[in-house]
Amino acid sequence: MKRFIFLAIISIFLISGLSAEEENPIKFKIEKTSPSVYLLKVAYPENFGIQKEAPHRILLNPGSGLKVVSAELKLKGKTSTRKKEYFESVEPMQLKLEGKGELEIHAKIFYCDYNRNICIPGKILQKEIIQ
């Protein structure tokens, strides 16, 4: 009986640990500025920062009917006043797209939660519809 209770407690901790995985606070927003030019913006909460010298990766995967003509996907921005190795804000990145369809954004962005003092490589998969 003690063994069963012990296994039940361990199972509960494992299940709660797996379901307690936090949602990534980093999101992308796409804004149209002209017929084929878009801005890809990185949005994140105020108490977070994006690491400046990290191997960030952003890949664009256009669906049928959509073509990526050009994309400048390097993160640049204003340095954080809290920690000099982080961006306080990231400048929008310019995209040139042709056509209409679904655009998948696959990214790995290294960010820091200042309140909890932890840094995490966030994996992002986001889908946007381009009209």
Confidence of residue 3 (pLDDT cuts 50, 70, 90): low
Least confident range from 18-32, 39-53, 90-104: namely: 18-32
Q: Is residue 46 part of a domain?
A: yes
CATH code of the domain covering residue 96: 2.60.40
Q: Is residue 4 part of a domain?
A: no
User: Are β-strands 37-43 and 27-34 bridged in parallel, bridged antiparallel, or unpaired?
Assistant: antiparallel
Residue 127's beta-bridge partner residues? 104
Asked if residue 91 lies in contact with residue 77, where contact means CB atoms within 8 angstroms, the answer is yes
Q: Look at the chain and report how many structural domains it folds into.
A: 1
pLDDT in tens, 27-75: 999 999 999 999 999 999 988 999 999 999 999 999 999 999 999 999 9
Asked if residue 85 lies in contact with residue 53, where contact means CB atoms within 8 angstroms, the answer is yes
Q: Is residue 53 part of a domain?
A: yes
Q: Is residue 32 part of a domain?
A: yes
Q: Is residue 56 part of a domain?
A: yes
**DSSP H or E stretch at residue 88:** strand 86-90
